[in-house]
Structure 1
Amino acid sequence: MSQSTYDQLLHGAVGLNHGVLRDVLIPAILGEETGGILYWAGKNLAHQFPVSNPDELITIFTQLGFGHLELQKKSAKQQTWQISGPIVTERLKLNQADFNLETGFIAQQIEFQTNAITEAQIVEQKKGTVQIVAQSDLKDPSLDTEPIEFLQIEPAQTE
Protein backbone atom coordinates (compact mmCIF):
# COMPACT_ATOMS: atom_id res chain seq x y z
CA MET A 1 0.00 0.00 0.00
CA SER A 2 1.33 3.42 -0.86
CA GLN A 3 1.59 6.29 1.58
CA SER A 4 -1.08 8.25 -0.32
CA THR A 5 -3.52 5.30 -0.21
CA TYR A 6 -2.88 4.88 3.51
CA ASP A 7 -3.40 8.59 4.18
CA GLN A 8 -6.55 8.72 2.07
CA LEU A 9 -8.12 5.70 3.80
CA LEU A 10 -7.08 6.76 7.29
CA HIS A 11 -8.50 10.27 7.01
CA GLY A 12 -11.44 9.73 4.65
CA ALA A 13 -15.07 8.70 4.86
CA VAL A 14 -14.27 5.11 3.86
CA GLY A 15 -12.05 4.48 6.85
CA LEU A 16 -8.87 2.46 7.02
CA ASN A 17 -10.50 -0.80 8.13
CA HIS A 18 -13.24 -0.85 5.50
CA GLY A 19 -11.01 0.50 2.75
CA VAL A 20 -8.24 -2.03 3.35
CA LEU A 21 -10.71 -4.91 3.25
CA ARG A 22 -12.67 -3.78 0.18
CA ASP A 23 -10.01 -2.20 -1.97
CA VAL A 24 -6.70 -3.73 -0.89
CA LEU A 25 -7.04 -7.17 0.77
CA ILE A 26 -9.92 -8.68 -1.24
CA PRO A 27 -8.40 -7.74 -4.63
CA ALA A 28 -5.02 -9.08 -3.46
CA ILE A 29 -6.59 -12.43 -2.57
CA LEU A 30 -9.01 -12.77 -5.50
CA GLY A 31 -6.86 -11.19 -8.21
CA GLU A 32 -8.50 -11.11 -11.63
CA GLU A 33 -11.59 -12.86 -10.27
CA THR A 34 -12.40 -10.02 -7.86
CA GLY A 35 -15.21 -8.45 -9.91
CA GLY A 36 -17.07 -11.68 -10.60
CA ILE A 37 -16.79 -13.02 -7.08
CA LEU A 38 -17.85 -9.71 -5.53
CA TYR A 39 -20.86 -9.55 -7.86
CA TRP A 40 -22.08 -12.96 -6.66
CA ALA A 41 -21.21 -12.04 -3.07
CA GLY A 42 -23.43 -8.97 -3.46
CA LYS A 43 -26.28 -11.16 -4.69
CA ASN A 44 -25.75 -13.44 -1.69
CA LEU A 45 -25.65 -10.46 0.68
CA ALA A 46 -29.03 -9.33 -0.70
CA HIS A 47 -30.44 -12.67 0.49
CA GLN A 48 -29.43 -11.63 4.02
CA PHE A 49 -31.05 -8.18 3.70
CA PRO A 50 -34.07 -8.55 1.35
CA VAL A 51 -36.20 -5.44 0.88
CA SER A 52 -39.58 -5.10 -0.77
CA ASN A 53 -39.33 -1.85 -2.74
CA PRO A 54 -36.92 0.70 -4.26
CA ASP A 55 -37.24 3.14 -1.35
CA GLU A 56 -36.17 0.47 1.10
CA LEU A 57 -33.33 -0.53 -1.23
CA ILE A 58 -32.07 3.06 -1.09
CA THR A 59 -32.28 3.06 2.72
CA ILE A 60 -30.56 -0.31 3.30
CA PHE A 61 -27.87 0.60 0.75
CA THR A 62 -26.98 3.67 2.81
CA GLN A 63 -27.23 1.77 6.10
CA LEU A 64 -24.76 -0.83 4.78
CA GLY A 65 -22.27 1.96 4.07
CA PHE A 66 -22.25 1.50 0.28
CA GLY A 67 -22.96 5.18 -0.43
CA HIS A 68 -25.97 7.15 -1.60
CA LEU A 69 -28.20 5.28 -4.07
CA GLU A 70 -30.58 7.03 -6.45
CA LEU A 71 -32.99 5.58 -9.00
CA GLN A 72 -32.49 7.58 -12.19
CA LYS A 73 -34.74 5.75 -14.68
CA LYS A 74 -37.18 2.90 -14.45
CA SER A 75 -39.14 0.89 -16.98
CA ALA A 76 -40.76 -2.53 -16.68
CA LYS A 77 -37.56 -4.29 -17.79
CA GLN A 78 -34.74 -1.90 -16.91
CA GLN A 79 -33.65 0.30 -14.04
CA THR A 80 -30.77 2.76 -13.97
CA TRP A 81 -29.23 3.50 -10.60
CA GLN A 82 -26.52 5.90 -9.51
CA ILE A 83 -24.24 5.48 -6.51
CA SER A 84 -22.58 8.60 -5.12
CA GLY A 85 -21.43 10.24 -1.92
CA PRO A 86 -18.12 10.78 -0.11
CA ILE A 87 -17.39 7.05 0.19
CA VAL A 88 -17.81 6.52 -3.56
CA THR A 89 -15.78 9.60 -4.44
CA GLU A 90 -12.91 8.50 -2.22
CA ARG A 91 -12.97 4.89 -3.43
CA LEU A 92 -12.91 6.01 -7.07
CA LYS A 93 -9.74 7.99 -6.36
CA LEU A 94 -8.00 4.73 -5.41
CA ASN A 95 -8.22 3.50 -9.02
CA GLN A 96 -8.55 -0.14 -7.93
CA ALA A 97 -11.99 0.29 -6.33
CA ASP A 98 -14.50 -2.35 -7.44
CA PHE A 99 -18.26 -1.75 -7.20
CA ASN A 100 -19.41 -5.22 -8.23
CA LEU A 101 -20.50 -6.07 -4.68
CA GLU A 102 -22.98 -3.18 -4.84
CA THR A 103 -23.97 -4.12 -8.40
CA GLY A 104 -24.81 -7.70 -7.44
CA PHE A 105 -26.68 -6.48 -4.37
CA ILE A 106 -28.85 -4.18 -6.50
CA ALA A 107 -29.48 -6.92 -9.09
CA GLN A 108 -30.69 -9.41 -6.50
CA GLN A 109 -32.90 -6.89 -4.71
CA ILE A 110 -34.60 -6.03 -8.00
CA GLU A 111 -34.98 -9.73 -8.75
CA PHE A 112 -36.79 -10.15 -5.41
CA GLN A 113 -39.05 -7.22 -6.22
CA THR A 114 -39.87 -8.19 -9.82
CA ASN A 115 -39.75 -11.98 -9.37
CA ALA A 116 -37.81 -12.09 -12.67
CA ILE A 117 -34.20 -13.03 -13.36
CA THR A 118 -32.23 -9.78 -13.11
CA GLU A 119 -28.63 -9.01 -13.92
CA ALA A 120 -26.87 -5.68 -13.51
CA GLN A 121 -23.69 -4.10 -14.74
CA ILE A 122 -21.67 -1.00 -14.16
CA VAL A 123 -22.02 1.23 -17.21
CA GLU A 124 -20.08 4.27 -16.06
CA GLN A 125 -17.69 5.35 -13.33
CA LYS A 126 -16.81 9.01 -13.26
CA LYS A 127 -16.09 11.86 -10.89
CA GLY A 128 -17.73 10.59 -7.73
CA THR A 129 -20.50 8.50 -9.26
CA VAL A 130 -21.05 4.96 -10.44
CA GLN A 131 -23.95 4.23 -12.78
CA ILE A 132 -25.50 0.75 -12.80
CA VAL A 133 -28.10 -0.63 -15.18
CA ALA A 134 -30.21 -3.59 -14.07
CA GLN A 135 -32.04 -5.61 -16.70
CA SER A 136 -34.91 -7.96 -15.77
CA ASP A 137 -36.12 -10.75 -18.02
CA LEU A 138 -39.83 -10.69 -17.27
CA LYS A 139 -40.34 -13.90 -19.28
CA ASP A 140 -37.89 -15.76 -17.03
CA PRO A 141 -39.18 -16.07 -13.45
CA SER A 142 -36.75 -16.01 -10.56
CA LEU A 143 -35.36 -19.39 -9.56
CA ASP A 144 -35.68 -18.65 -5.84
CA THR A 145 -38.04 -21.27 -4.48
CA GLU A 146 -37.84 -20.19 -0.86
CA PRO A 147 -40.41 -17.60 0.18
CA ILE A 148 -38.78 -14.26 0.83
CA GLU A 149 -39.30 -12.67 4.20
CA PHE A 150 -38.59 -8.99 3.59
CA LEU A 151 -36.97 -6.97 6.35
CA GLN A 152 -38.86 -4.22 8.08
CA ILE A 153 -36.48 -1.37 7.27
CA GLU A 154 -36.12 1.50 9.69
CA PRO A 155 -36.39 4.83 7.88
CA ALA A 156 -33.24 6.80 7.24
CA GLN A 157 -32.25 9.19 10.00
CA THR A 158 -32.64 12.85 9.07
CA GLU A 159 -30.15 15.34 10.39
Structure 2
Amino acid sequence: MTQSLYDQMIHSNTGLGQMMLRDVLLPSILGTEADGILYWAGKDIARQFPVDSDDKLISLFHQLSLGTLSLIKKNSKQQVWELAGDEIIDRSKLSHATFNFEAGLIAQQIEFQTNMVTEASVEVEKKKIIQITVYHDSSNQVTDETPINFIQLSE
Protein backbone atom coordinates (compact mmCIF):
# COMPACT_ATOMS: atom_id res chain seq x y z
CA MET A 1 0.00 0.00 0.00
CA THR A 2 1.39 3.40 -0.89
CA GLN A 3 1.44 6.32 1.51
CA SER A 4 -0.99 8.32 -0.63
CA LEU A 5 -3.46 5.42 -0.79
CA TYR A 6 -3.20 4.91 2.96
CA ASP A 7 -3.72 8.65 3.60
CA GLN A 8 -6.73 8.71 1.29
CA MET A 9 -8.31 5.70 2.99
CA ILE A 10 -7.57 6.64 6.61
CA HIS A 11 -9.20 10.05 6.12
CA SER A 12 -12.30 8.66 4.43
CA ASN A 13 -15.78 8.44 5.89
CA THR A 14 -15.94 4.81 4.79
CA GLY A 15 -13.13 3.62 7.03
CA LEU A 16 -9.75 2.12 6.43
CA GLY A 17 -10.83 -1.46 7.14
CA GLN A 18 -13.73 -1.59 4.70
CA MET A 19 -11.86 0.23 1.93
CA MET A 20 -8.75 -1.93 2.41
CA LEU A 21 -10.79 -5.13 2.08
CA ARG A 22 -12.97 -3.90 -0.75
CA ASP A 23 -10.54 -1.87 -2.85
CA VAL A 24 -7.13 -3.35 -2.08
CA LEU A 25 -7.38 -6.98 -0.91
CA LEU A 26 -10.22 -8.28 -3.10
CA PRO A 27 -8.84 -6.85 -6.37
CA SER A 28 -5.42 -8.20 -5.43
CA ILE A 29 -6.79 -11.70 -4.86
CA LEU A 30 -9.25 -11.73 -7.76
CA GLY A 31 -7.03 -10.03 -10.33
CA THR A 32 -8.51 -9.43 -13.76
CA GLU A 33 -11.66 -11.36 -12.84
CA ALA A 34 -12.53 -8.98 -9.97
CA ASP A 35 -15.37 -7.14 -11.71
CA GLY A 36 -17.25 -10.30 -12.72
CA ILE A 37 -16.70 -12.07 -9.42
CA LEU A 38 -17.79 -9.04 -7.41
CA TYR A 39 -20.96 -8.77 -9.53
CA TRP A 40 -21.84 -12.41 -8.75
CA ALA A 41 -20.87 -11.90 -5.10
CA GLY A 42 -23.43 -9.08 -4.96
CA LYS A 43 -26.06 -11.41 -6.40
CA ASP A 44 -25.13 -14.02 -3.80
CA ILE A 45 -25.47 -11.55 -0.92
CA ALA A 46 -28.91 -10.61 -2.29
CA ARG A 47 -29.89 -14.29 -2.16
CA GLN A 48 -28.85 -14.40 1.49
CA PHE A 49 -30.65 -11.14 2.37
CA PRO A 50 -33.65 -10.84 0.01
CA VAL A 51 -35.98 -7.88 0.48
CA ASP A 52 -39.44 -7.44 -1.00
CA SER A 53 -39.59 -3.76 -1.95
CA ASP A 54 -37.61 -0.85 -3.33
CA ASP A 55 -37.83 0.95 0.02
CA LYS A 56 -36.33 -2.03 1.80
CA LEU A 57 -33.58 -2.28 -0.81
CA ILE A 58 -32.73 1.35 -0.14
CA SER A 59 -32.65 0.64 3.61
CA LEU A 60 -30.49 -2.45 3.11
CA PHE A 61 -27.92 -0.42 1.18
CA HIS A 62 -27.81 2.07 4.03
CA GLN A 63 -27.44 -0.68 6.63
CA LEU A 64 -24.63 -2.31 4.66
CA SER A 65 -22.85 1.08 4.40
CA LEU A 66 -22.87 0.87 0.61
CA GLY A 67 -24.14 4.43 0.11
CA THR A 68 -27.40 6.25 -0.37
CA LEU A 69 -29.47 4.43 -2.98
CA SER A 70 -32.27 6.19 -4.89
CA LEU A 71 -34.63 4.94 -7.59
CA ILE A 72 -34.54 7.53 -10.39
CA LYS A 73 -36.59 5.92 -13.16
CA LYS A 74 -38.66 2.78 -13.53
CA ASN A 75 -40.56 1.31 -16.47
CA SER A 76 -41.46 -2.13 -17.75
CA LYS A 77 -37.99 -2.82 -19.21
CA GLN A 78 -35.54 -1.07 -16.95
CA GLN A 79 -34.86 0.76 -13.74
CA VAL A 80 -32.26 3.43 -13.11
CA TRP A 81 -30.78 3.70 -9.64
CA GLU A 82 -28.35 6.24 -8.28
CA LEU A 83 -25.85 5.56 -5.55
CA ALA A 84 -24.40 8.55 -3.72
CA GLY A 85 -23.05 9.58 -0.34
CA ASP A 86 -19.74 9.82 1.45
CA GLU A 87 -18.92 6.17 0.76
CA ILE A 88 -19.26 6.74 -2.97
CA ILE A 89 -17.26 9.97 -2.94
CA ASP A 90 -14.47 8.29 -0.96
CA ARG A 91 -14.32 5.20 -3.16
CA SER A 92 -14.66 7.15 -6.42
CA LYS A 93 -11.40 8.91 -5.61
CA LEU A 94 -9.59 5.58 -5.91
CA SER A 95 -8.38 4.86 -9.42
CA HIS A 96 -9.40 1.19 -9.29
CA ALA A 97 -12.75 1.30 -7.44
CA THR A 98 -15.61 -0.55 -9.10
CA PHE A 99 -19.27 -0.79 -8.20
CA ASN A 100 -20.09 -4.17 -9.72
CA PHE A 101 -20.85 -5.66 -6.30
CA GLU A 102 -23.62 -3.10 -5.86
CA ALA A 103 -24.90 -3.71 -9.40
CA GLY A 104 -25.14 -7.46 -8.75
CA LEU A 105 -26.88 -6.89 -5.42
CA ILE A 106 -29.48 -4.62 -7.03
CA ALA A 107 -29.99 -6.93 -10.02
CA GLN A 108 -30.76 -9.96 -7.87
CA GLN A 109 -33.07 -8.04 -5.53
CA ILE A 110 -35.05 -6.69 -8.49
CA GLU A 111 -35.19 -10.20 -9.99
CA PHE A 112 -36.76 -11.45 -6.76
CA GLN A 113 -39.28 -8.61 -6.80
CA THR A 114 -40.26 -8.81 -10.50
CA ASN A 115 -39.80 -12.56 -11.08
CA MET A 116 -38.03 -11.67 -14.36
CA VAL A 117 -34.46 -12.52 -15.33
CA THR A 118 -32.57 -9.34 -14.50
CA GLU A 119 -29.09 -7.93 -15.14
CA ALA A 120 -27.55 -4.63 -14.15
CA SER A 121 -24.63 -2.53 -15.26
CA VAL A 122 -22.80 0.48 -13.99
CA GLU A 123 -23.68 2.95 -16.71
CA VAL A 124 -22.32 6.25 -15.47
CA GLU A 125 -19.58 6.89 -12.98
CA LYS A 126 -19.28 10.47 -11.84
CA LYS A 127 -17.18 11.67 -8.93
CA LYS A 128 -20.15 11.85 -6.55
CA ILE A 129 -22.85 9.64 -8.07
CA ILE A 130 -22.87 6.13 -9.54
CA GLN A 131 -25.73 5.25 -11.88
CA ILE A 132 -26.76 1.61 -12.15
CA THR A 133 -29.21 0.55 -14.82
CA VAL A 134 -31.19 -2.64 -14.28
CA TYR A 135 -32.60 -4.43 -17.34
CA HIS A 136 -35.37 -7.01 -17.22
CA ASP A 137 -37.44 -8.75 -19.85
CA SER A 138 -41.07 -9.60 -19.07
CA SER A 139 -40.92 -12.46 -21.60
CA ASN A 140 -38.10 -14.11 -19.63
CA GLN A 141 -39.66 -15.20 -16.34
CA VAL A 142 -37.67 -16.85 -13.57
CA THR A 143 -38.51 -20.56 -13.54
CA ASP A 144 -37.14 -21.45 -10.10
CA GLU A 145 -40.09 -22.45 -7.94
CA THR A 146 -38.20 -22.28 -4.65
CA PRO A 147 -40.08 -19.84 -2.42
CA ILE A 148 -38.19 -16.71 -1.39
CA ASN A 149 -38.14 -15.99 2.30
CA PHE A 150 -37.78 -12.24 2.39
CA ILE A 151 -36.02 -10.86 5.45
CA GLN A 152 -37.55 -8.28 7.77
CA LEU A 153 -35.21 -5.33 8.21
CA SER A 154 -34.71 -3.61 11.53
CA GLU A 155 -35.23 0.10 11.19
TM-score bucket of the superposed structures, by smaller chain: over 0.9
Distance 1:144 1:96 in 2: 36
**Count of aligned pairs:** 155
- In the other structure, the counterpart of 2:21 is 21
8 A Cα contact 1:71 1:82, kept in partner:
yes
Pairwise CA RMSD of aligned residues? Answer: 0.9
Distance 1:94 1:119 in 2: 25
Opposite residue 66 of structure 1, the aligned amino acid is L
The offset of 1:106, in angstroms, is: 0.1
* Structure 1 ranges of 4+ moved more than 4 A: none
Distance 1:143 1:22 in 2: 33
- In the other structure, the counterpart of 2:130 is 130
Aligned residue for 1:91, secondary structure, equals helix
Distance 2:66 2:21 in 1: 14
- In the other structure, the counterpart of 2:85 is 85
Q: 1:44 to 1:144 in 2, by over 3 A?
A: farther
Q: Deviations over 1:75-109 (max 9, x none)?
A: 01210000000010010001111110000000000
Distance 1:145 1:43 in 2: 18
What are the residue-to-residue correspondences of 1:10-159 with 2, within 5 Å? 10-155=10-155
Q: 1:60 to 1:17 in 2, by over 3 A?
A: same
- Segments of 5+ residues of structure 1 without an aligned counterpart are none
Q: 1:90 to 1:135 in 2, by over 3 A?
A: same
The offset of 1:143, in angstroms, is: 3.9
Q: 1:143 to 1:18 in 2, by over 3 A?
A: farther
Distance 2:138 2:119 in 1: 12
Opposite residue 5 of structure 2, the aligned amino acid is T
Distance 2:58 2:6 in 1: 30
The offset of 1:7, in angstroms, is: 1.2
Q: What is the TM-score of this pair, normalised by structure 1?
A: 0.94
Q: What is the TM-score of this pair, normalised by structure 2?
A: 0.97
Aligned residue for 2:96, secondary structure, equals coil
Single out whichever of 22-31 and 9-18 deviates more from structure 2. 9-18
Distance 1:36 1:11 in 2: 29
- Segments of 5+ residues of structure 2 without an aligned counterpart are none
8 A Cα contact 1:77 1:136, kept in partner:
yes
